[in-house]
Structure 1
Amino acid sequence: MIANRFKVAVVAISMMLAGCSAATQSSWVHPPMAVPFQPTIQQQIQLARIDQLLKRNDLDDDTLAQVYYERGLLHDSLGLRDLARLDFNQSLSLKPDQPDVFNILGVYFTQSAHFDAAYEAFDSTLELNLRHPFAQRNRGIALYYGGRYALAHEDLIAHYQQNVNDPYRVIWLYLVEQALKPEAADDKLRQRFEASDQQDWGWQVVRLYLGDVSETEFLAQISRDSEDNTMLAERLTEGYFYLAKQYHHRQDYQSALMLYKLALSGNVYEFVEHRFSLLELSRLMAEAKVREVPVEPEGEVADAAE
Structure 2
Amino acid sequence: MDIGRLRVLREFADRGSVTSAARALHCTPSAVSQQLRALQAEVGLALTEPAGRGLRLTDAGQALVASADDVLAALDRAEAELDTYRSSPRGRVRVAIFPSAGLMLLPGLLHRFAAVDGLDVEVRDVDMTPPEVPALAADFDIVVTHRDESAEPFTASRLHTVHLLREPLDVALPPGHRLASRERVELGELAEEPWIGVDVGFPVDDVLRSIAARTGIRPRVVYRINDFQIIGALVAAGHGIALLPRYTLWRNDLLRRPLSGIRAARHIEAVFRAGADSRPAVATVLANMVAESNVIATG
Please confirm whether the aligned pair reaches a TM-score higher than 0.5, indicating the same fold.
no
- Structure of larger gyration radius: 2
Q: Which has the higher contact order (CA 8 A, sep 6+)?
A: 2
Give the structure with the larger helix fraction. 1
Give the structure with the larger strand fraction. 2
Give the TM-score normalised by the residue count of structure 1: 0.24
